[in-house]
Structure 1
Amino acid sequence: MNPSPSVLDRIPAGIFLADGGLSVRYWNPCMEDWTGIPVAEIRDRPLDSFFPAFREPGLRI
């Protein structure tokens, strides 16, 4: 799923979407600014490879 960039890219809040396996499907510019991780680096990669805390059972969705 690729949300419309014309809407989500302009929201001044960090927004990301991940699939059931926690692979990042969307990472908006605010997330790039806040984390320093460019979308090209994180898209289609597991979120927990950048943020190991997401491996914890209590943080899984």
Structure 2
Amino acid sequence: MGRDQAAEINATGVTVDVGEVTVRYLLYGLLPSWFLPGLADWAMPGAPVSRRRPAPRNP
């Protein structure tokens, strides 16, 4: 944030609440980044790649 932007925010009286920023981060950042891989995992069932390959034989 530049000095001009900080001065503008100060002049307009707009404040940023830490709780609001945290909720926005959780709802719009962390939740989608957790939900999308989970949805992809659910949509593509099957054994993991490591289970599809045969185990190496011991000599």
The TM-score bracket by the shorter chain reads under 0.3
TM-score, normalising length: structure 2: 0.20
Larger radius of gyration: 2
More strand by share: 1
Structure with higher RCO (Cα < 8 A, 6+ apart): 1
TM-score by length of 1: 0.20
Structure showing the higher helix proportion among its residues: 2
